[in-house]
Each structure stands twice: as structure tokens, then as C-alpha cells.
């Protein structure tokens, strides 16, 4: 099992952490399991440090269930070494503030620093540098060896050597096997600075830095342009600083800071770093984004981390955090689903249904690429998960252009059509059934009326009708009829939701399933039913199940103001965080996917939507905060809602809401806060600071004129 974070210590208030920066993870040794090394990625390129391969956004090789992220040989797989030196100390550091991994060698008289990063804004660039610095102005020459294991070959690409470019080496080649017959086979072009076996600091110099550049693109013209841009920035001394500035800007608009235990603070920075590494850079609306897989771009080679496929993990577990901070990045995720609609239409047709059926596992085409057929045919809740992401975006932004002009309405209407063709009418029960499905709890399959699946189908249909009304499109009567009459199982005697028809209380379940009805689905139920669902499923959920499960139980207990029970569930998440770089593993025994963004996303939601009580609804952003004992302050910087940016600060005494930026058209979205208990309305123009007592801070933000704007 991997070295884990301690699931017990996070509950103690860390008063004396020695001024440790919670955003910087440092160790004198590397983990023995290389899967747990830090990752450096951006939206286009990704690698694990000291790994011989990298991956490229949207570049897969292999047919259907065998399609996987294509391995590209990595020229940044370099280790520094000083043989035969005494008094050597080593430090390995992941700095999440700057998106940089570094290796520091300290010796008597000098230090050597090896720094590696995937440039956040210039996404075609991976770079590393070596800096030797002596403690005196002059001295004997200092030589550092560079150990590089690099062969310009790939099992997934037909690689050819091109002519050297500006003294750098160049290879290119296309993938060997298309995802489906007739699908494109992307070409990868790569140029990199040759790496010598050693670098030497001359005796008369005190310090020198060597910079090494790798650029990857899908055309010769693009890769050469990017390499030239990178070398120009190196010449100007600003390649690295332009990368760190991009990260500074990213963090400025998106932070979660707590005054509380160090492990919690570190977990928050770690989760945000790995998630932010996966999103398109800001102000890049034309970036062709291919979604987020459970292990991110650094993982997903054949046989690893679900082959780099995209699941509901993206839409249900990762996406809500991104939407809350960066709607433009959330939009890029939705555009990925829109581009995949053609494949989804084909999936539905092949399974004998109308409309669109999004794949359980998706690569580029939108056609099903899951290696096992049962998931693709039965785990149909994916359709509702995808549409819930579209609904959350629509309500949080009112971006009608995406729906009217860029294909989102087609996704919404085709999913609604699918659900109408997927249900069957029960004459006996006088309701619609959805039969033969696998719920999120994958221990059970071929069941009828999964409560989660049916509720999310109902949600899809209601949302489709809402958008149609907004756009003055006639709503098919079938949509309203199926939404109204689809069975959502409920046991009135026990006052809880059975997971599916015939579920017996006490039967073990794999992961969060029924509890998702409360959040994120916000399915209407009384607090008693919400409590009963939590009580029923918490003790029968597998302890070694996937990491995101416990965060959803925590959110449920937070809704009921059972703070201690929530903390108990949340503490279980720390068993999935490994040391020293806070890489998450899917299962607490270390098995499953690594760099498990899904688990990180669930954990972040417990903080961002649990402690704050944030809920995105049709007409408002609700808040109903709680402050647990082990935290004295929680500050969420950069919440986005209807074009405004807000900071929320929560303490034991009060909630402070600051509007840092209003919508570009303040007349269009004049935000106000409304308190539930008193009905008090507080206008929130830009620059406003609103302070509410925690005792009465149950309220919502809204624009006074709801509906189509």
C-alpha cells in the first residue's frame, strides 16, 4: 500500500506547523511507487515527473475498447546527479503556487536546481532547467551529470525523424489505429532541445542556468512556431516567469483558504492544483479541449487509469468545482460533449433507441469505447449526468449563445428524446419504468428502476422543457408526460429511497448512489427522508470503495447540520491521499486509478458546496453555511455567478460576501442577497461588502428579474 496521509490528524487544529506553506509539498525522498510521483500537466500536454512518456490532449491510439492515450516519448525525463560527492542533501518539491516540480542538490560550496513544468498558458510547451550556483564568486569548475533515458520511439505512433530545427531535434508521426473505422488518426509533431550528458559551471562564473525546451503540436507549422516562441522567451529570460504569472493569475481568481489543520489546507491546495492543471488556460475560447479523464493527462496509457477515457467522473465529480470558479473552462468541457453528440446519436441507434446516448467511456468520437459491453449498455445514468452539467452551467451563467448557436440545445433535446424511448409503460403500476440498468453502485446490474437513474432522467426531461420554454420552442407533450410519471422508487413504510426495485436494506453497495439524490441532484425530499437515506446506506457502503463516496455522505450530514458526523465521513478521504505530493489513489488500499481527480473533485465539493451550502438553482445561488469545530475561518475566493465574481468568508460568527466584479452589464444582472428568515434584500453592486450573522445566514443570491434575459 502507498504511503498515506493520516486520516486522524486532520481533525486537530494544527497550531504549530512551523510556518509550513500549505501549497508547497517537500520531501527528501521520492515515493517508492513511481505512480505516486507528482504530475506536471496543462490542458494539452501531461507527464508524471521522471516518466519516459507524455500524453497529448485528444490523441488516442487503438480501436474502440482498446483505444488509449497514445504514448509519446518524453524528452523531459531527466535526472541530475553528482557522483562521488560527500555531504549531499536532496530536496524534491512540488510548488502548487507556481505549477513547478523541482529537485535541489545541496553540496558544500554550491547548489544545483532542476526545475520542470508544463507551461500553463503556452500549452504546447514542456520545459526544464538546470541551475548551478556556487556560494563564492569563483572556484573550481562544477560538473553535474544529466541522466536521460530517451528513445524516439512509440508503440502507438508511426514516428519519423524530421530535419533539425534551430539546432533542435524533430520527430513526427500519426497514431497507428483509429478509434473507430474512418475516424481521423492524429499526427504528433515534437521538437526538443538536445540534452547533453553533463553541464559544467566554469570556474570564473558564480551562477548559470541551462534551459531545455520541448514543444508538441499537431502540425509542423504549429510545432515550429511554438518552439520559436519558446526560444524567444528563453532569450528574453521570461519563459519560466510567463508560466508562473499564468499560475498566479489562475490562483488569484480561484482559492480555498482555511484557518485550520495543516493536512486539510494541504489537501485543498493539492486538489485544486491537480484540477486546475487539467483545464484550458483562461482567455483561450478556441482551444479544442478533449475532456478530463479520472487520472488526467499524465496517465491513461494502455492498461492504466481507464485508458484515459472520460466518464461521469468529469461531469459529476470534477466539473462542479470548475463551474463555480471558471465558467469559461466549464464551457470548454460542455463543448467537448457537444462535439461528441454524433457518436452519442450512433450509440443510441445501435442500442435500439432514439435520441442520444452518451458513452459510459468516451474518447474523441463520442462512440462507446468501454472495453466491457455491460457498462456501455446499462450504466445509462451517464446521460443524465451530462445533462445535469449543462443545466448547472445554464443556471449559473444564463449563457444562451451556447444553447442557441453552439449545439447545447441539440444535446439537451436529443437526451430528452433518448429517455422517452428508453422508458416502458407499466399498465399495472400506471407509471414509466427504466429497466435493465446498472446504477452508480456497480455491484448491482440488470436492475429495474434505479432510483438515481430514474430521478436524473426526470431531471433531464424537466430541464429540456425549461430550455424549450425559454427559447419559445414547443415542448413535446411526451417530455412532460414521462417526467411526471417516471417511477422514482420510494418505500413509504421505511420512509427512504430503495436503490432499485427489490433492494433489500442491509445489502452492500459499492459507492455513493442514493445519497446523490440530495446533492448534487437536489431531488425534493424532507429532512427525515434525507436522514433515513444516509442512515440506511452509510453502514453498507464498501469501506474500500472509490474515494469520492465519503465526501457525498459528508455533504448530506452538513445539510442536516450534523457537523460531527460529516467530519467523520470527510476524514475517510484522507486515507486516499498519498505522500509526499498529495496524489490521490482511487481506493484506500492503493489500488485503482492514481492522480485520481474524481476523488479530489468530490472532496473539493464537500468543502465548496458542503461548508458553504452553495446550491445552483434555476433562479438563485443558495447558501446555508456551517463552520466545523476544527476550522476558524474558510475563505472562498472567486465564486462566479451570473457574470459577477464574489468572495465568501465564513467564520464561527459571520459570513462576509464581497463583490469583486459585477457582470459586464450591471443593468442586466443586478445581483442581490435575500435572507430566507427575514426576507431582507441586500443589493450587491461591485465593491459591496455584506456581513451577515452566521445564525441568520441562510439565503440566496439572485438577479431580481429571473427567466430569459
- The pLDDT tens digits for 179-238 are 999 999 999 999 999 999 999 999 999 999 999 999 999 999 999 999 999 999 999 999
Query: What pLDDT sits at residue 666?
Result: 60
Indicate the helix (H) or strand (E) that contains 575.
none
Query: What pLDDT sits at residue 705?
Result: 58
Query: What pLDDT sits at residue 500?
Result: 99
Query: What digits encode the pLDDT tens for the residues 512-525?
Result: 999 999 999 999 99
If pLDDT is split at 50, 70 and 90, which confidence band does 670 have? confident
Q: Does the active-site annotation cover 442?
A: yes
Q: Give the lowest-confidence range in 4-8, 143-147, 662-666.
A: 4-8
Q: Where are the alpha helices (DSSP H) in 356-407?
A: 373-378, 381-397, 400-404
Query: What pLDDT sits at residue 690?
Result: 94
Query: What digits encode the pLDDT tens for the residues 283-293?
Result: 887 889 999 99
Q: Give the lowest-confidence range in 115-119, 161-165, 671-675.
A: 671-675
Mean pLDDT confidence for 81-97: 92
Query: What pLDDT sits at residue 524?
Result: 98
Whether 539 shows a pLDDT value over 70: the answer reads yes
Whether 15 shows a pLDDT value over 80: the answer reads no
Q: Return mean pLDDT, the chain.
A: 95
Residue with cell 431531488: 523
Whether 14 shows a pLDDT value over 80: the answer reads no
Query: What pLDDT sits at residue 709?
Result: 36
Please report the DSSP string for 9-68 in residue order. Answer: GGGS--S--TT--TTEEEESS--SSGGGS-EEE-SSEEEETT-SEEEETT-EESSGGG-E
Query: What pLDDT sits at residue 17?
Result: 44
Mean pLDDT confidence for 402-411: 98
Mean pLDDT confidence for 701-706: 73
Query: What pLDDT sits at residue 116?
Result: 99
Mean pLDDT confidence for 249-271: 97
Query: What digits encode the pLDDT tens for the residues 453-474?
Result: 999 999 999 999 999 999 999 9
- Residue 702 grid cell: 439572485
- Residue 663 grid cell: 457582470
Query: What digits encode the pLDDT tens for the residues 556-581?
Result: 999 999 999 999 999 999 999 999 99
Question: Per this entry, what is the length of the chain?
Answer: 709
Catalytic option among 406, 442, 478, 579? 442
If pLDDT is split at 50, 70 and 90, which confidence band does 668 have? low
Query: What pLDDT sits at residue 284?
Result: 81
- Residue 420 grid cell: 422517452
Whether 18 shows a pLDDT value over 60: the answer reads no
Alpha-carbon distance of 354 to 239, in angstroms, equals 51
- Residue 110 grid cell: 554550491
Nearest to 436 by CA among 427, 444, 447, 428: 447
What whole-number percentage of the chain has pLDDT above 70?
Answer: 96
Predicted TM-score (pTM) of the model is 0.96
Please report the DSSP string for 216-250 in residue order. Answer: EESSHHHHHHHHHHHHHHHHTT-HHHHHHHHHHHH
Query: What pLDDT sits at residue 11?
Result: 45
Mean pLDDT confidence for 481-488: 99
Contact assessment for residue 309 and residue 370, using Cβ atoms and an 8 Å cutoff: yes
If pLDDT is split at 50, 70 and 90, which confidence band does 83 have? confident
Amino acid at each position: 500500500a502507498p504511503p498515506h496521509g493520516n486520516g486522524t490528524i486532520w481533525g486537530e487544529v494544527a497550531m504549530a506547523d512551523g510556518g509550513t506553506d500549505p501549497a508547497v509539498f517537500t520531501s527528501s525522498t521520492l515515493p517508492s511507487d513511481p505512480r505516486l510521483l507528482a504530475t506536471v500537466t496543462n490542458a494539452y500536454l501531461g507527464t508524471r515527473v521522471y516518466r519516459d512518456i507524455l500524453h497529448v490532449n485528444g490523441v488516442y491510439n487503438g480501436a474502440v475498447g482498446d483505444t488509449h492515450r497514445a504514448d509519446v516519448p518524453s524528452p523531459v525525463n531527466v535526472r541530475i546527479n553528482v557522483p562521488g560527492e560527500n555531504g549531499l542533501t536532496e530536496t524534491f518539491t512540488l510548488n502548487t503556487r507556481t505549477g513547478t516540480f523541482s529537485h535541489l542538490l545541496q553540496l558544500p560550496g554550491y547548489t544545483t536546481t532542476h526545475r520542470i513544468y508544463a507551461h500553463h498558458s503556452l500549452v504546447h510547451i514542456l520545459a526544464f532547467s538546470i541551475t548551478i550556483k556556487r556560494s563564492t564568486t569563483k572556484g573550481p569548475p562544477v560538473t553535474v551529470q544529466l541522466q536521460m533515458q530517451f528513445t524516439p520511439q512509440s508503440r502507438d505512433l508511426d514516428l519519423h525523424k524530421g530535419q533539425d530545427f534551430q539546432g533542435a531535434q524533430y520527430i513526427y508521426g500519426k497514431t497507428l489505429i483509429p478509434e473507430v473505422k474512418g475516424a481521423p488518426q492524429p499526427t504528433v509533431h515534437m521538437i526538443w532541445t538536445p540534452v547533453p550528458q553533463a553541464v559544467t559551471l566554469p570556474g570564473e562564473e558564480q551562477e548559470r542556468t541551462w534551459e531545455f525546451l520541448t514543444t508538441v503540436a499537431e502540425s509542423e507549422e504549429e510545432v515550429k512556431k511554438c518552439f520559436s516562441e519558446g526560444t524567444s522567451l528563453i532569450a528574453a529570460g521570461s519563459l519560466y516567469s510567463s508560466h508562473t504569472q499564468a499560475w498566479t493569475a489562475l490562483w488569484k481568481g480561484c482559492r480555498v483558504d482555511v484557518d485550520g489543520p495543516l493536512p486539510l489546507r494541504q489537501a485543498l491546495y493539492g486538489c485544486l492544483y491537480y484540477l486546475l492543471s487539467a483545464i484550458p488556460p483562461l482567455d483561450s475560447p478556441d482551444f479544442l479541449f478533449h475532456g478530463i479523464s479520472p487520472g488526467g493527462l499524465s496517465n491513461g496509457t494502455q492498461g492504466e487509469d481507464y485508458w484515459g477515457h472520460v466518464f461521469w467522473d468529469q461531469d459529476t465529480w470534477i466539473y462542479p468545482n470548475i463551474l463555480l470558479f471558471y465558467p469559461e473552462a466549464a464551457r470548454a468541457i460542455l463543448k467537448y460533449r457537444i462535439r461528441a453528440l454524433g457518436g452519442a446519436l450512433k450509440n443510441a441507434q445501435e442500442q435500439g433507441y432514439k435520441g442520444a446516448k452518451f458513452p459510459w467511456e468516451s474518447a474523441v468520437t463520442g462512440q462507446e469505447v468501454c472495453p466491457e459491453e455491460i457498462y456501455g449498455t446499462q450504466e445509462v445514468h451517464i446521460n443524465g449526468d451530462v445533462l445535469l452539467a449543462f443545466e448547472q452551467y445554464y443556471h449559473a451563467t444564463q449563457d444562451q449563445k451556447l444553447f442557441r448557436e453552439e449545439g447545447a440545445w441539440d444535446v439537451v433535446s436529443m437526451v430528452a428524446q433518448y429517455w422517452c424511448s428508453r422508458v416502458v409503460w407499466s399498465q399495472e403500476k400506471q407509471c414509466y419504468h427504466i429497466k435493465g440498468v446498472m446504477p452508480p453502485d456497480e455491484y448491482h446490474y440488470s436492475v429495474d428502476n434505479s432510483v438515481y437513474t430514474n430521478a436524473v432522467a426526470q431531471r433531464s426531461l424537466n430541464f429540456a422543457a425549461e430550455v424549450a420554454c425559454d427559447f419559445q420552442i414547443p415542448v413535446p407533450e411526451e417530455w412532460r408526460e414521462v417526467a411526471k410519471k417516471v417511477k422514482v422508487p420510494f418505500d413509504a413504510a421505511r420512509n427512504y429511497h430503495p436503490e432499485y426495485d427489490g433492494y433489500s436494506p442491509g445489502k452492500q453497495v459499492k459507492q455513493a448512489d442514493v445519497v446523490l439524490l440530495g446533492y448534487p441532484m437536489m431531488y425534493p425530499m424532507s429532512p427525515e427522508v434525507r436522514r433515513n437515506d444516509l442512515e440506511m446506506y452509510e453502514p453498507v457502503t464498501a469501506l474500500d470503495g472509490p474515494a469520492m463516496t465519503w465526501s457525498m455522505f459528508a455533504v448530506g450530514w452538513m445539510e442536516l447540520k450534523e457537523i460531527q458526523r460529516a467530519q467523520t465521513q470527510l476524514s475517510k478521504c484522507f486515507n486516499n491521499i498519498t505522500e509526499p505530493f498529495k496524489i490521490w489513489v482511487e481506493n484506500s488500499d492503493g489500488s485503482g486509478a492514481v492522480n485520481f481527480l474524481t476523488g479530489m473533485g468530490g472532496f473539493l465539493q464537500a468543502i465548496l458546496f458542503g461548508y458553504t451550502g452553495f446550491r445552483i438553482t434555476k433562479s438563485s445561488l443558495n447558501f446555508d453555511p456551517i463552520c466545523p469545530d476544527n476550522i476558524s475561518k474558510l475563505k472562498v475566493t472567486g465564486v462566479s455567478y451570473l457574470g459577477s465574481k464574489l468572495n465568501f468568508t465564513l467564520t464561527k460568527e459571520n459570513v462576509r460576501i464581497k463583490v469583486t466584479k459585477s457582470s459586464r452589464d450591471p443593468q442586466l444582472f443586478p445581483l442581490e442577497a435575500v435572507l430566507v428568515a427575514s426576507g431582507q434584500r441586500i443589493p450587491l453592486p461591485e465593491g459591496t461588502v455584506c456581513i451577515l450573522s452566521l445564525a441568520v445566514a441562510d439565503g440566496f443570491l439572485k438577479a431580481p428579474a429571473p427567466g430569459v434575459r
